[in-house]
Amino acid sequence: MLATTTSLNTTRSQEIFAAAQKLMPGGVSSLIRAFRSVGGQPIVFDRVAGAYAWDVDGNQYIDYVGSWGPAICGHAHPVVTAALKEAIAKGTSFGAPCELENILAEMVIKAVPSIEMIRFVNSGTEACMAVLRLMRAFTGREKVIKFEGCYHGHADMFLVKAGSGVATLGLPDSPGVPKSVTSNTLTAPYNDLAAVKALFEENPHQIAGVILEPVVGNAGFIPPATGFLEGLRQLTQEHGALLVFDEVMTGFRIAYGGAQEKFGVTPDLTTLGKIIGGGLPVGAYGGRQEIMSTVAPAGPVYQAGTLSGNPLAMTARIKTLELLQQPGAYEQLDQITKRLTERLLQVAQATGHAACGGQISGMFGFFFNEGPVHNYEDAQRSDLNKFARFHRGMLEQGIYLAPSQFEAGFTSLAHTEADIDRTLEAARIVLSNL
């Protein structure tokens, strides 16, 4: 089914990956990296800098994955790495309060409209797990609504219709997740307010809240329809439920204050990850003071973490956010990404391939599908075989795209117009030959 001929020399990548498969399940530490949905062998990276990645065979790629979002200033930004060198000399982890936590907390509280108080954790998954407990504790209700194709990390109760990783493997769910755990997770199609309204009516006074990706990235790139976020805000308020934006991907990505700033809808709670880590393992959750004050030790809702708030992660985050505060940063991301997506769709059309897509700031996506794509079901009508061949072709042209049709792409402040134009030229060659 897949084009396996390659002009790239990937001998070392193949050797390392073959060895890895005997050591780690599927040869990877996170499943999407294994290239299962696009076939062929994954590329083993040696180093990254700016907009580029180099593999262990010495091939260079323009990188549109950016470590799945964190590399928004470009990989290994000299300001971030210099600050990390200084910080590392003082130790890698304190396990005690450190002033850097205050500095970062203030920056995030100032930036993100819903966040009046914050708790730092180590990953997006952790943030989402903690926020779920908090939603339930605060409302005294157990059911939550999530949307098909939205991913909120790999905790049991969220592994229902959970987007990319799961979609890519064709697993509707995961073995090992007890029915009793997911029985309180209700799902609705994205962008479908009527379905959410019906769930509230069918489960009166039982729904703790609604959690969603305010712009979906884990089923491919799907923006919210006009009025969808506002509608959810209104419905949750009417029913005494909480609204939670999972901004692990969109936070500091589609605007400095995330989707809530961009769309002017303020949720009760927000989860963050990816970008605020500046490339170190990171997550955070925050929201209204009244709710956050119930988190231990201020309140009874348990949550803790040995490495949480560690000084290296705090340093990388502070420096990354400082870089993002520079005037014009988001306009630059928007311009470069618009150039990429608009022209990519033109190239697809000119070469006779049905495609649709879009972008907001430095987050983008496209589907081999007539469109429009409003939800996960629409996304699934894409030509996955074509995407796989396109992906492999682009790789051979030195363009590193997310290895799944159901993942958003990311640009960075280090991507130049010349990088974009090279990418478009590569796409023209690949699409002409598909």
Ligand X SMILES: *Cc1c(COP(=O)(O)O)cnc(C)c1O
Q: Which of 55, 63, 101, 246 binds ligand X (CB under 6 A)?
A: 246
Catalytic choice (52, 61, 64, 151): 151
Number of H helices, E strands in the chain: 15, 14
- Among 124, 278, 287, 311, interactor with ligand X by CB under 6 A: 124
Tokens coding 119: 């708790």
- Answer left, alpha or beta for residue 251, where phi above 0 means left and psi between -120 and 50 means alpha: beta
Task: Give min distance, CB of 64 to ligand X, in A.
Answer: 16
Q: What is each CA distance from 4 to 8, 14, 27, 164, 390, in whole angstroms?
A: 11, 13, 19, 23, 12
Strand 52-55 to 45-49 pairing: antiparallel
Please indicate whether residue 383 is annotated as part of the active site: no
Residue of 63, 161, 190, 246 marked active site: 246
Q: Minimal distance in Å, beta carbon 174 to ligand X?
A: 15
Kindly indicate which of the ranges 120-128, 174-182, 253-261, 334-342 contains the residues binding ligand X, using the contact rule CB under 6 A. 120-128
CA 104/CA 83 separation, integer angstroms:
14
Q: Does 286 bind ligand X (CB under 6 A)?
A: no
Give least dist CB 283 to ligand X, A.
6
| Least spacing, CB of residue 222 vs ligand X, in Å | 12
325-332 LR contacts (CB < 8 Å, sep 24+): 325/256, 329/256, 329/413, 330/255, 330/256, 330/361, 330/362, 332/413
Residue from the set 55, 63, 148, 213 that interacts with ligand X by CB under 6 A = 213
When binding is defined by CB under 6 A, the residue of 118, 145, 249, 399 that contacts ligand X is: 249
Strand ranges (E), 329-394: 356-360, 363-367
Among 48, 111, 128, 269, binds ligand X (CB under 6 A): 128
Which pair of structure tokens corresponds to residue 423?
Answer: 């990418």
Find the binder of ligand X among 168, 218, 359, 423 (CB under 6 A). Answer: 218
274 is catalytic: yes
Minimum Å distance from CB 7 to ligand X? 33
12 vs 34: CA distance, rounded Å: 16
Could you please report the per-residue DSSP string of 156-168?
Answer: GGG-SS--HHHHH
Does the annotation count 246 as an active-site position?
Answer: yes
Site for ligand X in 139-168 (CB under 6 A): 151-153
- Which CB, 136 or 152, lies closer to ligand X? 152
Residues 6+ apart with CB under 8 A from 37: 168, 169, 384, 388, 403, 404, 405, 406
Site for ligand X in 371-410 (CB under 6 A): none
Write out the residues near ligand X by the rule CB under 6 A.
123-125, 128, 151-153, 213, 217-218, 246, 248-249, 273-274, 283
Known catalytic residues are: 151, 246, 274
